[in-house]
Amino acid sequence: MNSKCKVPERALVRILLVDGSEPFRLLLSSILKEQPGFQIVGEASDGAEAIQRAMEVKPDLVVLDIDLPGLSGIEVTRQIRCCSPDSRMLFLTLNNDAELAREALRAGARGYTLKFDAVPELVVAAKTVLSGKRFIGRAFRDLDR
């Protein structure tokens, strides 16, 4: 078979997980790995490590907490958007402050939802954000009002 005629394999979506809790990162990883085409390319437990990993792996999607050790998730978002502008940012957090969610979206995040909703919303949120649309978790449905 001529190599020029080969159908290229579908590219994997490269995901960086950023959360201070290793057990929670493991949960996220197990949920996302079940999805065809998703690949976890790195993990980070704090803001500085997240920026470093993003510079190294240039992920398609960064799933991060807003309350990180060191730098806040909002500052991490701003810095990753500079060093890896094609990366899409999705917040998954315990923080249900609507104004903080608005600030995260203004900083460049495309999605914001609560950790309590990770199981039912994470995959839909990831796919929505990766498609270029905004995802707002059910706890924040009135965020744009």
**Averaged confidence pLDDT in the chain:** 90
Residues of the chain under the 70 pLDDT cut:
1-10, 142-145
By residue range, what is the domain housing residue 58?
11-134
Kindly report, residue by residue over 22-51, the tens digit of the pLDDT. Answer: 999 999 999 999 999 999 999 999 999 999
Q: CATH number for the domain including 68?
A: 3.40.50.2300
Whether 51 is covered by a domain: the verdict is yes
User: How is 45-96 classified by DSSP, letter by letter?
Assistant: SSHHHHHHHHHHH--SEEEE-SS-SSS-HHHHHHHHHHH-TT-EEEEEES--
Instruction: Kindly report the pTM of this predicted structure.
Output: 0.89
Residue with tokens 């965020």: 143
